[in-house]
Chain A
Amino acid sequence: MGNCLKTPTTDDISLLRGNDSQESDPNLGPPPPYQERVPVYHPSPNVSRPANQLTEEEQIKIAKRLGLISHLPTGVYDGSVKKGKECVICMCDFVLGDSLRFLPCMHTYHKKCIDDWLMRAFICPSCMEPVDAALLTTYESS
Chain B
Amino acid sequence: MASMEKRLQKELQALTKDPPKGVRVSPDGTCRTLSEWIVDLDGAPGTLYEGEHFQLQFKFSSRYPFDSPQVTFIGTNIPLHPHVYSNGHICLSILTEDWSPALSVQSVCLSIISMLSSCTEKKRPPDNSFYVKTCSKNPKKTRWWYHDDSV
Residues on A lying within 8 angstroms of B by beta carbon are 42, 45-46, 48, 88-92, 113, 116-117, 120, 123, 125-126, 128
Contact = CB atoms under 8 A, between A and B. Distances in A.
Interface residues of B, number: 19
A112 B67 CA distance: 16
A87 B66 CA distance: 14
Interface of B: 3, 6-7, 10-11, 63, 65-68, 96-102, 104, 140
Contacts of A128: 98, 100
A46 B65 CA distance: 11
A123 B66 CA distance: 12
Give the residue among B11, B65, B66, B67 with the most A Cβ atoms within 10 A. Answer: B66
A91 B99 CA distance: 16
A117 B66 contact: yes
Nearest to A46: B67
Contact of A46 (B96, B100, B104): B96
A88 B99 contact: no
B65 A89 contact: yes
A116 to B, nearest CB: 6
